[in-house]
A and B are shown apart, each in its own frame.
Chain A
Amino acid sequence: MSIIDVEQISFAYSEEKRTLNQVSFTIEKGEWIAILGHNGSGKSTLAKTLVGLLEPQSGEIRIDSIKLSEETAFDLRKKVGIVFQNPDNQFVGVTVRDDIAFGMENLCIPRDEMLKRIEFYAQKVGMEQYLDKQPSNLSGGQKQRVAIAGILAMRSDILIFDEATSMLDPYTRNDLIRYIQSLNQEGFTIIMITHDVNEAILADKIMIMKQGEIAAFDNTHTILEKKELFDENHLELPVALEIASLIEDIKLKEILWEFVSTM
């Protein structure tokens, strides 16, 4: 069953250039999609249209079969949570606790449940020690973890991470990714916009964007086999596959592919 249907959407910030040009795709419920593409390829704009923050000039988006429009955007936002790259732009609370609560307050979640979720998700992102601290005193990566906890606590069916892990250290990031994996197994639909191919390879499917269009959208393994696609788009292959492309030994190549699948 599809949960997101995008049909022929176009969006332009100015008249000269379309940031999104006739983009169409379908995402099934419970899928994990990674979106790759270099800066300016339209990835973030696409994410903003999916949550109704930007309205495409043409085309249609349906979330769970409901057409996204001014009238439905408020309700549909409950189904789609998004975390942006720079956490400084998304803080509202006086304390970390308030901040995690904010999204849930908008969903009218009962207080008891809210308090439980704050503790639970703060722990999930390793910020349980910081609940009474002011967000402004936290480091960039810590702020990002708080923003992520706030979104997770809303338990939206669809979670979009717009380069949300780029400011985390590898350890915190791995922890979070493992948690996202478990959410995905529970049936949550995950869309991850990322520059990090090591993160993208965990997805069921990879979409590569180029100048506002979809250059490729296929199963992860199929995409990874197309080295030229990565070269053309200034994207990096996982280092292990880069090494594999430089050697001849079949057995070693196989082991490197196997290594990538264990990541």
Chain B
Amino acid sequence: MRKPLLALAAGLLLAGSVSAASAAEKLKVGFIYLGPIGDLGWTYQHDLGRQALVKELGDQIETTYLENVPEGPDAERSIEQLVRAGNKLIFTTSFGYMDPTLKVAKKYPNVHFEHATGYKRNPNMSTYSAKWYQGRYIQGLIAAKMSKSGVLGYIGSFPIPEVVSGINATMVAAQTINPNIKVKIIWANTWFDPGKEADAAKALIDQGADVIMQHTDSPAAMQIASERGKLAFGQDSEMIKFGPKTQLTSILDTWGPYYIERVKAELAGTWKSEDSWGGLDSHMFAMAPYTNMPDDVKKIAEDAQAAITAGKLHPFKCPVVGQDGKEIECKGGANLDDGQILGMNFYIKGIDDKLPGK
């Protein structure tokens, strides 16, 4: 009884090692995803980036992903599993993987890591993110133009600087159109929970909001806005099919070019630890077509997009006034500097709400 079993096990092991050997020359690239690849939002877009990478460099690399990895005690193990499976470049695609990624990076100095949206780096750990606040600025202009009630509904995920800067950029822009514009904010305290997101959208609409914007990842809010005959912005991905008469535009995360660039550097042996923070000019993200709006609003949006891309318009142009009415120190000369935006933990004047934890 024992020997046949052992023989079977040996055979299986052998089969495993043969398949490993044939793939040995290819660079292995790993991805850790927060949601399921079918979330149609954040993770979906990262996986589109991975697919673009495979399409471009598929003959030289092999990719592996782990999806639905919670930002808790499992993350470190999942990352280390990818290392142990021979992946030499690993993308960890959510803020909450920051500490686990750093721990594993320190343990495996010869493996390179890329962490999305964090701020801790190491000689073998880069960070990358996008200046989504630029897109939020454009959305703010559209929202103020399109809102009849003068109340915007905003579904926040976590009150971290990335999300806060998005709310501020929206309101800075909206106030240039309608100085009395109001925003209602609900913190969903999750990145992805269609049920909660839908509830938040309903509550916002009940409070009078007629344009819904979100910093969470599912199309649930879009569907609710569509049912209730309101307008909404997509998030991360193209969500027009969830609201053909509802979506105004959407901030599209386009990770493909970045992933291709970094893998090419790895293949060429020129990979370095860097901090990449790309805006509209670097194609780190894009705007979905401007739909369901009159031509004059579309023109405003397109002009703003062109101006931001060309570097002529900065959403956080000084003076920026805080909630307390005091001007924020202008560290970037004509506008707030990157550090101020990356660490943004205040609301601007005109937001009639309290930032959690302030």
Q: Do A and B interact with each other, yes or no?
A: no
Residues of A at under 8 Å CB distance from B?
Answer: none
